Homo-oligomer: A and B are copies of this chain.
Amino acid sequence: MTLQDSSTPKIVTAAMVVIGDEILSGRTQDKNVAHVANCLNEVGIQLREVRVIPDIEQEIVDAVNFCRNKYTYVFTSGGIGPTHDDITADSIAAAFDVSIDHHPEAMKILTRHYEVSGIEFNDARKRMARIPDGASLVDNPVSKAPGFRLENVFVMAGVPVIMQAMMQSILPELSGGAKMQSRTIGASMPEGKIAKDLGDLQKKFPTVSMGSYPYFKQGQVGTNLVLRSVEAENLDLAIDELVTILTAQGAKFDLND
């Protein structure tokens, strides 16, 4: 990894809006947030906020409008299927105050898909071709019904295997910034023991974000120290100092990139 040049690193941010009664009811454990976060990291985009909201139009409108104004990109998951509770496309149209109709290219993709499958392309399934005016389609190699992009908002399916495929389609469209780099040190000591020195180190390296996460494994207390920065050189310097501190304290530790 080359160092950032001396100018201010370009920070590109994102929010994710998870549209899903099934997550809020506790019925389904979300798996999409971590996947999106990791994909975005790879292209230099920092996920800064996640909202999980119910399948209610006004909630979707409010969350999307807030997030699209605050962050570089917004990714939504859920609510683009054929049933009455799939209201994401209409809600996005409402958020942008644009009209929505059956999209010719989406209709073509779905017509062919159902022809080949020998399944009736009924009115409910045609709902999946409803795309807000001005949006471009996001390819869905798994089940064909497309997602879409409108300005900085990307609308994806909620089913993880489909969402992951859509995310792959989207990644080349994104303009990333400085890549957040991360190093983790797992130390065999309680975080209360390292807390003061870590706080001092944080003050010394304000552009390196330092997180401390205690763990309990087989009766042992330990701490994962996670240092993150878009400035590779400062990150390395901070890690060196932390290693010195831990060594002086007699802690056992592992450094993982």
A interface residues (Cβ-Cβ under 8 A, vs B):
18, 21-31, 33-38, 40-41, 46-55, 59, 81-86, 119-120, 122-125, 127, 159, 161, 180, 182, 184, 190-196, 198-199, 202, 209-216, 226, 228
Tell me whether A21 and B216 are in contact in the complex, defined as CB-CB below 8 angstroms, given that A48-B54, A192-B82 are known contacts.
no
**Contact A22–B226 (Cβ < 8 Å):** yes
| Interface residues of chain A: helix, strand, loop or mixed (majority) | mixed
Q: How far is the CB of A152 from chain B (nearest CB, A)?
A: 18
Closest to A86 in B: B212
Contact partner, A50, options B52, B81, B214, B215, Cβ 8 Å:
B52
User: Which residues from chain B contact A54 at a C-beta distance below 8 Å?
Assistant: 48-49
- Residues of B contacting A41 with CB < 8 Å? 25-26
Q: Which residue of B lies closest to A124 (CB)?
A: B195
Q: What are 23 inter-chain pairs, A to B, with CB distance below 8 A?
A: A21-B211, A22-B226, A24-B50, A25-B180, A25-B228, A26-B33, A26-B35, A27-B184, A29-B34, A51-B51, A51-B52, A81-B212, A82-B195, A84-B195, A84-B210, A86-B212, A120-B193, A122-B192, A122-B196, A124-B192, A124-B196, A159-B216, A161-B216
Take A84-B195, A191-B82, A192-B125 as given contacts and tell me if A24 and B52 are in contact as well, using a CB distance cutoff of 8 Å.
Answer: no
Cα–Cα distance between A49 and B66 once the two chains are bound (Å): 15
**Residues of B contacting A119 in the complex (Cβ-Cβ under 8 angstroms):** 190, 192
Q: How far is the CA of A194 from the CA of B86 in the complex (A)?
A: 14
Give the chain B neighbours of A47 by CB distance below 8 A.
24-26
On whether the beta carbons of A182 and B85 are closer than 8 Å, the reply is no
Instruction: Give Cα distance in the complex from A25 to B230, angstroms.
Output: 13
Task: Check B24 against A211 for contact (C-beta < 8 Å).
Answer: no
The docked-state distance in angstroms from the alpha carbon of A40 to that of B30 is: 18
Question: In the bound complex, do residue A25 and residue B37 qualify as a contact, i.e. CB atoms below 8 Å apart?
Answer: yes
Enumerate chain B residues within 8 angstroms of A21, measured Cβ to Cβ: 209, 211, 228
Interface centre among A26, A29, A180 (most CB of B within 10 A): A26
Asked if residues A123 and B196 are in contact (CB atoms below 8 Å), the reply is: yes
Among B27, B34, B161, B211, the residue within 8 A (CB) of A26 is B34
Q: How far is the CA of A30 from the CA of B18 in the complex (A)?
A: 14
